[in-house]
């Protein structure tokens, strides 16, 4: 079922690449043994091309499925995204908050310096609780139907938006008091419905500039990270939403039960949520940090887990786990792989 799938697991101790022959998973390679991998992106039509960002170190690219890696940009890389309308175009965000774009698949880069020209009353929120207290670009969303529309999630700092491919920016954080922003996305093929996962809430809006409201009906957790959409099972139905959550933020996870993570699902565009996960313990200690689409199966999703809390910026975190669901979240099974605590995850066609 997983034949022709390659997994890139970005961990606290390097990048682990696994390959499936349909029956078993094998470790194909390990790179950046001493590196903390905090971002990853792959080209959909050229799955052999993948970018990974190492905190404090730089952005790397492979063009042969992980056999060789080349550094393409220096910096403390915290996010990377490929334009879904043009895979030659790549964006990457750093700590402190800066945004760069490449028009040639990562070979050369230019900074979108207009981000630094935002008003001081916006930029004063770009901070982080731990030293050196600088915020970073956590997530980059390029609208799949209009690449001029770009949203950045700043951790901490809020949400900023561009309608002109990064020439100008506006802050669209109204309604979110605690500006620790993780992931943003639109309802697929919509410009009038957006969702954002934060450290202290999950929010939705028809127009981000008009403010955000909570969309948490049914949740029993209050920390939100990766979420994704699965295509409707039948024409005219809503997409399925899956989201990874925890009980309170990482500063509270040095406790029995640690993250107390859980996966929730919505069939009605986030109007209501229900916990799912047969095969997941009621008190799940590691955090589900990453959710990744299966490249061949619309009902399948991979999840990357790891015991990562206060120490995640400095390495460590114990054992990692990769799980898979093949029924849109109803049940989950661990893969027979060994890796350190996972942070980011990408599944590509081999």
Q: Look at residue 179 and tell me if it is in a domain.
A: no
Q: Look at residue 299 and tell me if it is in a domain.
A: yes
User: What pLDDT was estimated at residue 317?
Assistant: 63
User: What pLDDT was estimated at residue 314?
Assistant: 45
What contacts 252, CB < 8 A, 6 or more positions away?
A: none
Cα–Cα distance list, 335 to 26, 68, 242, 248 (Å): 10, 25, 19, 27
Task: Supply the DSSP string of 262-291, one letter for each residue.
Answer: EEEEESSTTSS-EEE-BTS-SSB-SEEEEE
Domain hosting 266: range is 1-35+216-350
User: What pLDDT was estimated at residue 172?
Assistant: 98
DSSP 180: B
Split into its structural domains, the chain has a count of 1
User: What pLDDT was estimated at residue 2?
Assistant: 81
What percent helix, strand, coil does the chain show, rounded to 5? Answer: 5, 45, 50
User: What pLDDT was estimated at residue 280?
Assistant: 86
CA distance 63 to 105: 10
Task: Supply the DSSP string of 316-331, one letter for each residue.
Answer: ---BEEEEEESSTTSB
- Give the 3-state secondary structure of residue 159: strand
Q: Look at residue 57 and tell me if it is in a domain.
A: no
- Give the 3-state secondary structure of residue 115: helix
Peptide bond into 132 cis (omega under 30): yes
Q: Look at residue 94 and tell me if it is in a domain.
A: no
Contact in structure between 37 and 320 (CB atoms under 8 Å): no
What contacts 136, CB < 8 A, 6 or more positions away?
A: 76, 78, 79, 93, 94, 95, 96, 97, 128, 154, 155
CA distance 62 to 287: 28
Q: Look at residue 228 and tell me if it is in a domain.
A: yes
CA distance 243 to 262: 9
Q: Look at residue 345 and tell me if it is in a domain.
A: yes
Q: Look at residue 251 and tell me if it is in a domain.
A: yes
pLDDT digits (tens, 9 = 90+) for 125-139: 999 888 889 999 999
| Residue 253 exposure: Cα atoms within 13 Å on the Cβ side | 25
- Give the 3-state secondary structure of residue 40: strand
CA distance 326 to 296: 11
Q: Look at residue 168 and tell me if it is in a domain.
A: no
- Give the 3-state secondary structure of residue 310: helix
Cα–Cα distance list, 72 to 16, 45, 116, 286 (Å): 20, 21, 23, 32
CA distance 142 to 147: 6
CA distance 165 to 88: 15
CA distance 34 to 44: 28
CA distance 309 to 223: 13
Q: Would you write out the chain's pLDDT as a tens digit for each of its 350 residues?
A: 788 899 999 998 999 999 998 778 999 999 999 899 999 999 999 999 999 999 999 999 999 999 999 999 999 999 999 999 999 999 999 999 999 999 999 999 999 999 999 999 999 999 988 888 999 999 999 999 999 999 999 999 999 999 999 999 999 999 999 999 999 999 999 999 999 999 999 999 999 999 999 999 999 999 999 999 999 999 889 999 999 999 998 888 888 888 999 999 999 999 999 999 888 888 899 999 999 999 999 999 999 999 864 444 444 568 899 999 999 999 999 999 999 999 999 999 98
CA distance 307 to 301: 20
β-strand partners of 11: 14, 342
User: What pLDDT was estimated at residue 309?
Assistant: 47
């Amino acid at each position: 079922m997983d034949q022709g799938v390659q997994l890139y697991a970005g961990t606290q101790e390097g990048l682990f690449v696994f390959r499936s022959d349909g029956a078993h998973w094998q470790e194909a390679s390990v790179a950046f043994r001493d590196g903390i991998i905090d971002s990853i992106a792959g080209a959909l039509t050229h799955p052999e091309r993948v970018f990974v960002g190492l905190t404090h170190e730089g952005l790397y690219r492979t063009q042969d499925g992980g056999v060789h890696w080349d550094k393409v940009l220096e910096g403390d890389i915290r996010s990377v995204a490929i334009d879904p309308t043009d895979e030659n175009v790549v964006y990457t965000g750093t700590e402190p908050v800066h945004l760069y774009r490449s028009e040639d698949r990562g070979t050369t880069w230019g900074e979108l310096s207009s981000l630094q020209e935002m008003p001081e009353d916006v930029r004063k929120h770009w901070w982080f609780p731990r030293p050196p207290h600088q915020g970073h670009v956590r997530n980059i969303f390029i609208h799949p139907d209009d690449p001029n529309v770009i949203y950045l999630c700043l951790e901490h700092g809020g949400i900023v938006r561009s309608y002109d491919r990064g020439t100008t920016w506006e802050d669209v954080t109204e309604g979110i008091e605690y500006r620790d922003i993780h992931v943003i996305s639109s309802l697929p093929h919509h410009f009038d419905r957006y969702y954002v996962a934060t450290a202290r809430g999950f929010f939705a809006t028809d127009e981000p500039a008009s403010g955000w409201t909570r969309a948490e009906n049914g949740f029993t957790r209050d920390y939100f990270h990766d979420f994704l959409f699965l295509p409707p099972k039948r024409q005219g139905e809503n997409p399925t939403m899956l989201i990874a959550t925890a009980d309170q933020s990482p500063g509270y996870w040095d406790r029995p039960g640690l993250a107390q993570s859980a996966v929730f699902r919505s069939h009605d565009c986030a109007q209501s949520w229900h916990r799912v996960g047969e095969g997941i313990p009621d008190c799940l200690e590691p955090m589900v940090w990453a959710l990744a689409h299966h490249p061949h199966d619309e009902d399948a999703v991979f999840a990357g887990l790891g015991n990562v809390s206060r120490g995640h910026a400095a390495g460590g975190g114990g054992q990692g786990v990769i799980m898979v669901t093949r029924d849109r979240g109803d049940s989950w099974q661990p893969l027979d792989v060994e890796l350190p605590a996972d942070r980011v995850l990408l599944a590509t066609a081999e």
